Amino acid sequence: MGTDTRVYTLQDIFRAAIAGQKAVAVWRLPNTDTVQACVQLGKQFTTGQPQLETSPFGFFFCPFQTSRQNQNLFIKGDLYFDGDDLVTAADAPAQQLDSFLKLLQQEQQNDSWHPSADDENHTCQTEQGFIDAVTKAVAAIQAEEMEKVVLSRNNRIQLPDQFSPIAALKSMAAAYPRAFISLVSIPGVGTWMGASPEILVSINEQQVFHTMALAGTQTAVENVADAIWRQKEIEEQAMVERYILSCFKKLRLRDYNEVGPRTVIAGNLMHLRTDFKVNLRDVHFPTLGTDMLELLHPTSAVCGLPKEPALQFILAHEGYNRSYYSGYLGPVNGSNGTHLYVNLRCMELLEHEAILYAGAGITEASDPQKEWQETQHKMQTMREILSIFG
């Protein structure tokens, strides 16, 4: 890799990527200060099922369900920004690199992003539609067709006139220090940004594998020790735990460390969380990351249990296409390791509007009106970021 000695800002790099029709991903890992970015210079983004161990450095962006319209995408790290320096990969295509560096030097003035390829076809779930779907889900659970299903909805709102993706990203990073902060913009696909509290699969520099069961939601209180959880939320979280343990069992993995459940704060909300870790230096399981990714996604925290009937219920009753909401995203094989997060607390940027997404876990004890309120609370994460632009 080579380092460009000139000093560029994150804003410079993002604007040049948009002007040059390049895919760009920007992220900040939880409990860190460094905002990182990578840019792909070529035009091929679609990929098959991610193979984490053999992948080059880059950024995965994968949907809730793959389809012709929503495919697994990979942004190869031809250029990497570590917060200070811009580093070029040894195999970066020379001609495209030269063109990109020229764009960087031109100091692009506009705050724009790659627009959604499907702007006209975005349908939104209404309040009544969501409540009807929850009512049907409770009836299906009572009839023992499934144990739990996660139903989501979306909402279109006007973007403020002065909106800037990089300024919004920096506000998210400051407001949500414990979340995974991301901004992904891909030509012909669109632009998404969010602040996710949920690890799907992570392997750090010390070769420690990490996943988590995160479920149950209530409004945050000042002291987590004062949190009181209802049976509904405790059971919902336990279902996600059991699902992760069933994945370990399928892989015949017995050596893991389990901590939780404990109450954690994510923005204006609290959740129950249990962490599962495996030291890959002690356990010979070189493909654990890829194998668990394949088994886990979509997790019971975004789909339901058992997975198949819950997924079929979502497709039949949710009333819109989730696209990349509740899929997963994150850097792979970088200097900090591989960190894939569930795409939650997110929004999709259209030309003049944003689409906000949120979901709620439905069990036998669910109240449709309360579940609607839960989605309202979750959408507040992105609304608050947009409100800073006036």
CATH number of domain containing 146: 3.60.120.10
What is the structure's pLDDT at 7? Answer: 83
Distance CA 353, CA 189 (A): 16
Separation in Å, CA 218 to CA 63, 215, 369, 371, 378: 26, 10, 14, 11, 10
In a domain, 246, yes or no: yes
Residue 123 inside a domain? The answer is yes
Residue 318: inside a domain = yes
Q: Which helix (H) or strand (E) holds 380?
A: helix 368-387
Q: According to the model, what pLDDT value does residue 226 have?
A: 85
In contact, 19 and 170? CB cutoff 8 Å: no
Give residue 267's pLDDT.
81
Whether the bond between 309 and the residue before it is cis, its omega within 30 degrees of 0, is no
For residue 279, the SS3 value is strand
pLDDT of the residue at 312? 97
Q: Is residue 165 included in any domain, yes or no?
A: no
Kindly report the number of other CB atoms within 10 A of residue 92's CB atom. Answer: 21
Q: Answer positive or negative: Cα dihedral of 98, 101, 105, 107.
A: positive
How many structural domains comprise the chain? 1
> Has residue 59 been placed in a domain?
no
Strand order in the sheet with 269-279: 73-76, 58-62, 328-332, 338-342, 199-203, 208-219, 269-279, 257-266
11 assigned to some structural domain: no
Its domain, for residue 151, covers: 119-159+211-387
Coil vs helix vs strand at 231: helix
For residue 50, tell me if it sits in a domain. Answer: no
Tell me what pLDDT residue 380 has: 93
| Residue among 32, 341, 335, 354 nearest 197 (CA) | 341
Residue-level pLDDT at 216? 87
Ranges of the chain whose pLDDT falls below 70: 1-5, 119-121
d(CA 281, CA 288): 12
Residue 135's CB is within 10 A of a number of other CB atoms, namely 14
Strand pairing category for 86-88 and 2-4: antiparallel
Residue with tokens 């969501």: 130
Predicted pLDDT at 47: 94
pLDDT of residue 4: 55
Residue 185 lies in a domain: no
Would you list the DSSP string of 154-211?
EEEEEPPTT--HHHHHHHHHHH-TTSEEEEEEETTTEEEEEEE--EEEEE-TT-EEEE
Residue with token string 């992948």 = 55
Q: How far apart (Å, rounded) are the C-alpha atoms in residues 239 and 243?
A: 6
Give dist(CA 116, CA 324) in Å, integer.
12
Helices 288-296, 231-250: inter-axial angle, 10-degree rounding: 130
